Structure 1
Amino acid sequence: MRLALLLLCAAALAGCSAYPLTETSQTHDNSSSAAAPTTTTTTSLTLPPRPREIPLDKVNPCAILTKDQRAQLSLDTPPSPYTDTDLKARACTIRGTYSGQVARLALVTNEGADLWISDEAQNTAKVIAIVGFPALEVRTPGLDTLCNVEVDVAKGEFLDVLFRDGGGAAPIPQDDLCLGAQRVAEAAMTSLSGGH
């Protein structure tokens, strides 16, 4: 079963994606973006309409962030492409040698971002906005060394940004990881929107 495989992936998480794992979506009130709307219900969440569509089928995940953007985000290793088998998506990982942070961008073109707030998802999700696009900040129970931001870019497509602690000298608090995920998502959406 897909959810069982995803649970194993999340538990092993070295380069894997965090994925929706349980039944209900909840919200966390730790807002890290002043402009981001927050939700107060712990039942079902809905994403607001996107301003336009940005299809991802012809996008190279490792070419989204420019060299300058990567430097600003303290991600200094060369982008490394791979296929995320759980998300069935083209993906790219970029590490920060000195920051101890790892960012992963995956281009999901076979399911919408509302997957993360479906009845099967078990995580803590909060509706936010990234460069005017609806998005979700997602925290998975038991995995406090990472945070995901899911940006609704087109019908049945989303940008998945995972930001995690790469095992540096000092642990990175999850609130900081979620801020990092939002910063990476904002840079990526600025590029995808043609603003870099």
Structure 2
Amino acid sequence: MRLALLLLCAAAALGGCSVYPLSEASQTQSSSTPAPTTTTTTSLTLPPRPREIPLDKVNPCTILTKDQRAQLSLDTTPSPYTDTTLKARACTMRGTYSGQVARLALVTNEGAELWISDEAQNTAKVIAVIGFPALEVRTPGLDTLCNVEVDLAQGQFLDVLFRDGGTAKPLAQDDLCLGAQRVAEAAVTSLSAGH
């Protein structure tokens, strides 16, 4: 339930998203009750990282270069903030013409395994982002966004949220997940180069 709330709060923090209340059944679900089988992700494990990229001293708004942001159609000035739900330094940016929004959050107090824990109420699949283990995460009921979680260091991960910012023809969630992966790839490329 904690992860569902994390995603709801992250989506709300980006603005322009509706936050749907949890159903009565999920509000009364105790932490000892297993998650529904449609959202259980406990069988997943992350492969080892090729190396460590610590995030403690990284500014989330300077990870993507101006050229990278232009290639991703994210042309507004990056806006820093603190994501209180993830307890992470974060940065959001938008595409003026594309209407798409990306958020980068640097989580340094918990590993990416959070998203595949027993409490995770999402669907996740293991992917690779520039050789680093990662998760593509979808939350039931929130089909206007997609997250990619990149395991970069022990107890630290890059959270990329990509969403539709209100385009005339909303993007399918598969396309949003591809967008999140493209942003994650650009970010890891930049972090690997020492930006």
- Normalized against structure 1, the TM-score is what? 0.83
Q: In the alignment, what sits opposite 1:48?
A: 47
- The CA deviation at 1:7 is 7.0
Q: 1:52 to 1:24 in 2, by over 3 A?
A: farther
Q: Deviations over 1:159-185 (max 9, x none)?
A: 000000000111111000000000000
Superposed, which structure 2 residues align to 1:2-151 within 5 Å?
A: 6=6, 9=9, 13-15=12-14, 23=35, 43-151=42-150
Percent of matched pairs sharing the same residue: 85
Q: Deviations over 1:43-88 (max 9, x none)?
A: 5100000000000000000000000000000000000000000000
CA contact (8 A) 1:105 1:159 kept: yes
- Number of corresponding residues: 180
CA contact (8 A) 1:24 1:119 kept: no
The one-letter amino acid paired with 1:23 is A
In the TM superposition, structure 1's runs of 4+ consecutive aligned residues that sit over 4 Å from their partners are 1-5, 24-27
Q: 1:55 to 1:170 in 2, by over 3 A?
A: same
**Inter-partner Cα distance in structure 2 for 1:183 and 1:4:** 23
**Inter-partner Cα distance in structure 2 for 1:170 and 1:63:** 30
Q: Report which of the two structures shows the higher radius of gyration computed on alpha carbons.
A: 2
Is 1:187 the counterpart of 2:182? The answer is no
Q: Give the superposed CA RMSD.
A: 2.7
- The CA deviation at 1:2 is 5.3
**Inter-partner Cα distance in structure 1 for 2:66 and 2:59:** 14
Return 5+ residue gaps in structure 1 as ranges.
Answer: 28-40
For residue 187 of structure 1, give the secondary structure of its aligned residue in structure 2: helix
Return 5+ residue gaps in structure 2 as ranges.
Answer: 20-25, 27-33
- The CA deviation at 1:6 is 3.6
**Inter-partner Cα distance in structure 1 for 2:7 and 2:165:** 20
